[in-house]
Amino acid sequence: MSNRNIAFNSETLELVQKIIRRYPEGKQKSALIPVLHIAQAEFDGWLSPEVMDYVASLLRIQPVEVYEVASFYSMFNLKPVGKCVIEVCRTSSCWMLGAEDVVAHFGKKYGIKPGETSKDGMFTLKTVECLGSCGTAPMMQVGADYYENLTLDKVDQLMDRFKKDGKRKSYTDTPEPRNQ
Amino acid sequence: MSRKLLLTHNDVPGIQSYEVYRQQGGYASVEKALKTMAPDAVTEEVKKSGLRGRGGAGFPTGMKWSFLAKPPGVARYLVCNADESEPGTFKDRYLMERIPHLLVEGMITASYALGANTSFIYIRGEYFYVSRILEKAIEEAYAAGWLGRNILGTDYSLDLYVQVGAGAYICGEETALLESLEGKRGNPRIKPPFPAVAGLYGCPTVVNNVETIAAVVPIVMQGGDEYAKIGVGKSTGTKLISASGHINKPGVYEIEMGVPVEEFIYSEKYCGGIRNGKKLKAVVAGGSSVPILPADLILKTAKGEPRLMTYESMADGGFATGTMLGSGGFIVMDEDTSIVKNLWNFSRFYHHESCGQCSPCREGTGWMEKILHKILDGHGTLEDIDLLWDIQSKIEGKTICPLGDAAAWPVASAIRHFRAEFEEYVKNPKGIKDVKHYYRIHKLQEA
Amino acid sequence: MAKVTIDGKTIEVPDGTTILNAARMIGGNVVPPAMCYYSHLKTSGGYCRTCLVKVTKGSEKDPRPMPKPVASCRTTVMDGMEVQNMTAPDLQEARAGVVEFLLINHPLDCPICDQAGECHLQDLGYEHGKARTRYEFKRRTFPMTDIGKYIKLHVNRCILCYRCVKVADQLCPGRVHGVMYRGDVAEISTYIKNAVEHEMCGNMIDVCPVGALTDMTFRFKNRVWFTKPVDAHRSCDKCCGKVRLWYKGEEVLRVTARKDQWGEVQTFDGKPGWICNSCRFEHKLTSDWVIEGPSHIDRHSVISANHYELKEGHKKTDKPRKNLEGKRIQLGEGALDPNNK
């Protein structure tokens, strides 16, 4: 792990302060989940104990309160992840319409099983519970974006794009324009 | 002829933007409420409308509002529940993505009625991109003077914020949502006290679903009585239904309460029938937690009457032969679907999403998943089916929040209506393995 | 005041009393078991669901029954309320279900668990559980950890009652442990290796209803039913100093807070008798203490075996422990009563 100093830049700090100001006096803990999202995006896509301690100090709460929350919610990664975290919905309609095939495809073609990260550190595959996209099943989420009505060809095209792009993807990214 | 009240301007290009929304008559309900109505008069209209909570429980919204405690000098909050996570449900996402200003408008009008000066839209973390759309809409509303200090020159002020969650189905339960909004683990609170008395930060709070709040707009505009004319009996107005599964036209449909289920499934206006000319096997009508019904019982009640898309008709016959309208997550399964496999998928979901706070749900959900897995693996016994039944009965009604019930009902209903299929899995594990449990993607590509 | 009837026994209690506390005031077998509720800890209770009761009549004003069983520890009585506990067979069945849930992932390692003999889960299983488990899958396991130099954390045995978290929140400012993750993998943990060090943290051991948090200074020293509890006190500036010493022969093996019949620390001068780490872990010589006499142990408890104490009003001996130890005592009316009743 890197020993670099963990701190937000002044612009992000300003954003954090703005979020804290939404809540009544003394209720700054309310900002915890939004700030953890920002921290995860900023510090390599996962929440190390150091990052969580930093967030605790920003919100003036005990570090354990941050660990409790971060470990509760499935969108927070407590271990290092690849640049693109691919989250395939595995519930209900997605599952009825082929989510298992999508997951199997990642294993066969890209050698990544759920919970694993590719050797080049580019991709992490996760299976997740219902993402509210049942009418456009099967689907997956990468960063802020939903990719719906998946076919295996579509998955391959997306993978090529992510690879070429090579950038880290976060939930807080500006989403791609969607076809309405 | 079916009327639309929420998705009226759904197809207008650019309806996401403030200008277009305003041109279509947007924000008129705020104008009407703030300038011509007292807050209680708005609540009164909502009461008259017969609107029931669209999140799943169907509790009368006007009554919920009138329970709100109003001690002087204490802040009150309105929190919109946009943590839509019930499998099979995606109507709120659709609505927020398509017509974000409708929710913002509803939030302002409803906040005014309740006397809330700070309101939150709590949206599930996975919908991050939708939160951006809402934030933009809110920004536009501030710029146009619909939010902030002294709205429309009145003495009413409101701040509206979007708060994102981070991946937890349980936060759709209103007290877990409030805990999460306070920056804590999404553990449901023990009630009483109810949020109407002690909710967010211990203050009186109303938590309403996205669709419920959006419906306040047409109710204020045309009056509660007019709204109540639509629908059947105590199921008034229109409802958004998320249709998915083995149907030709999945998507979100706004229906008038009272459309027959048969029409909804087979007509071209809605689902357009079952894919690939297959037969209907079963339907989960209100999101994954409501009891599954076989084809004959979803199309007709046990009395032989056509089943309608209303709270009452869906529940006709109780759980023995009926189900619930729930959140309107309408999952259709064709004749090739394996109920047992499907149930395992649901059980895995509830196991994954149990918060772990109270023992029956924490331990029972995992146990049920394991037994179903064992049956699917071909190692099940007939006793396992009885055991499953017994476990679900020991979870239902014994937990802090309804997640326990939500995990128990699918198991109970699947065994109740499809016991033979479970027995077949147990007795003849090889034979059943030939049945396709889901469509393979290459098949879809061929089609 | 509110009148409440539990299993046919009526009592009048102050407004705001919970059903559980009303039942405790009545006493006997109308009292539901409670694994997570602890009267001295605010916001405790409601999680374990063992204290569920049936409310067959809501109140005089609104006699409707409650649709579901309610947690008696978190439901306040209403005037005219009628409650069923032991008299409702379906409720007993439901409770047996809860007990089964609590046990499916429990290691059942009582033979090597220090808590055995004073374990609430053991009692609960004995009284309300079934003889056989129907669970045939692998039980979840967690590694054992030391949280601080005095406390061993054995999450396998934990039933997530949250009592220790509430002790940390309410007695030990600067909490370092809590509940991590969720669902059936939720665990009590410090997440990273933070030591629990606050001077009152030892009370977490006392409130733990099972053997998840045990005293490392007592670990594997003896079975509790072979030790003899004696009440004692010392003057302490950090706590009430009123403790229970657990003797084996001449040696004090363990010091705990004094507990009442519900397994909760006793109240002294209106305050809960929590004790500090110094009294608990660092004062284990008889000479550190002023001995008061043998502790009252309910005959219900396995610890009451081979345990004697003076009956109320009987003359106390001024040589308390030493002379009692190892001697056969002739029992007779008005003499030493082994049953404490």
User: Could you report the per-residue pLDDT of B218-271, keeping only the tens digit for each?
Assistant: 999 999 999 999 999 999 999 999 999 999 999 999 999 999 999 999 999 999
What would the mean pLDDT of B209-220 be, rounded to a whole number? Answer: 98
B194 contacts chain A (CB < 8 A): no
Instruction: Tell me phi and psi for residue C23, to 5 degrees.
Output: -65, -40
CA distance A18 to B245: 42
pTM passes above 0.75? yes
Q: Is B419 on the interface with C (CB under 8 A)?
A: no
Q: Which residue of C lies nearest to A63 if distances are taken between CA atoms?
A: C176
Whether residue B418 has pLDDT greater than 90? yes
C328, pLDDT greater than 50: no
Q: Which residues of B touch C50 (CB under 8 A)?
A: 359
Which helix (H) or strand (E) segment is C139 a member of?
none
By the 8 A CB rule, do B129 and A175 touch?
A: yes
3-class secondary-structure state, position B424: helix
pLDDT value for B392: 97
Choose among B190, B351, B390: nearest Cβ to C46. Answer: B190
Cβ contact C192–A72 (<8 Å): no
Identify any residues that bridge with C168 across adjacent strands, giving them in sequence order.
none
Share of chain B above pLDDT 90, in %: 92
Percent of chain C with pLDDT over 90: 82
CB B254 within 8 A of CB B7: yes
**A-interface mutation test, from B244, B254, B365, most A Cβ less than 10 A away:** B244
Q: What is the nearest CA distance from A115 to chain C, expressed in angstroms?
A: 17
Neighbours of chain C (3+ CB pairs under 8 A): A, B
Collapsed DSSP state (helix, strand, coil) of residue B308: strand
Rounded CA separation B241/C152 (Å): 53
Residue with tokens 């009837």, as numbered in its chain: C5
* CB-CB contact of C129 with C135 (8 Å): no
Segment A21-33 shows an average pLDDT of: 97
First CA to last CA distance, chain B: 32
pLDDT at residue B431, rounded to an integer: 53
Q: Does residue B170 have a pLDDT over 90?
A: yes
Q: How far apart are CA C68 and CA C54, in angstroms?
A: 7
> A16, A87, A91, A152: which to substitute to probe chain B, counting the most B Cβ within 10 Å?
A91
pLDDT per residue as tens digits for the range C23-82:
999 999 899 999 999 999 999 999 999 999 999 999 999 999 999 999 999 999 999 999
pLDDT given at position C339: 43
* Residue B444: per-residue pLDDT: 42
Find the helix or strand (DSSP H, E) in which A47 lies.
none
Q: Would you say residue B410 has pLDDT above 80?
A: yes
Cβ–Cβ gap B359/C97 under 8 Å:
no
Give tens-digit pLDDT for C221-233.
999 999 999 999 9
User: What angle, 0 to 180 degrees and rounded to 10, lies between the N-to-C axes of helices B403-427 and B339-353?
Assistant: 150
Neighbouring CB atoms inside 10 A of A158's CB total 17
The residues, ordered by sequence, that sit 6+ positions from A128 with a Cβ below 8 Å of its Cβ are: A74, A87, A88, A89, A90, A141, B126, B167
Between C83 and C192, the more confident residue is C83
C66 and B CB contact within 8 Å: no
Task: Closest CB to C180: pick one of A49, A62, A71.
Answer: A71
Tell me the pLDDT band of A175, cut-offs 50, 70 and 90: very high
Write down the pLDDT at residue C325: 45
Q: Does B190 touch chain C (CB under 8 A)?
A: yes
List all residues 6 or more positions away from C193 whose beta carbon is below 8 Å from its beta carbon: C145
Name chain B's partners: 3 or more CB pairs within 8 A. A, C
Instruction: Return all residues near B253 (Cβ < 8 A) that are at least 6 apart.
Output: B240, B241, B243, B264, B270, B271
- Give the chains touching A; criterion: ≥3 Cβ pairs < 8 Å: B, C
The answer to whether B338 faces chain A, any CB pair under 8 Å, is no
Q: What is the pLDDT of residue C326?
A: 43
CB of A64 within 8 Å of a chain C CB? The answer is: yes
* pLDDT score recorded for residue C312: 59
- Per-residue pLDDT of A129-143, as tens digits, reads 999 999 999 999 999
Phi, psi of A158 (to 5 degrees): -65, -40
Eight-class DSSP state of A14: H
Burial of B381-390, coded b for 16+ CB within 10 Å and e otherwise, reads: eeebbebbbe
Evaluate if residue B436 carries a pLDDT over 60. no
Q: How far is C191 from chain A (nearest CA, A)?
A: 7
Number of residues assigned to chain C: 341
Chain B residues with beta carbon closer than 8 angstroms to that of C210: none
* Single-letter residue type at C171: L
Confidence of residue C313 (pLDDT cuts 50, 70, 90): low
Please state whether beta strands B329-334 and B280-284 pair in parallel, antiparallel, or not at all (unpaired).
antiparallel
Q: Is the pLDDT of residue B1 over 70?
A: no
Tally Cβ neighbours within 10 Å of residue B59.
12
Using the Cβ of B309 and the Cβ atoms of chain A, whether some distance falls under 8 Å is answered with no
Rounded Cα distance, B305 and B301, in Å: 5
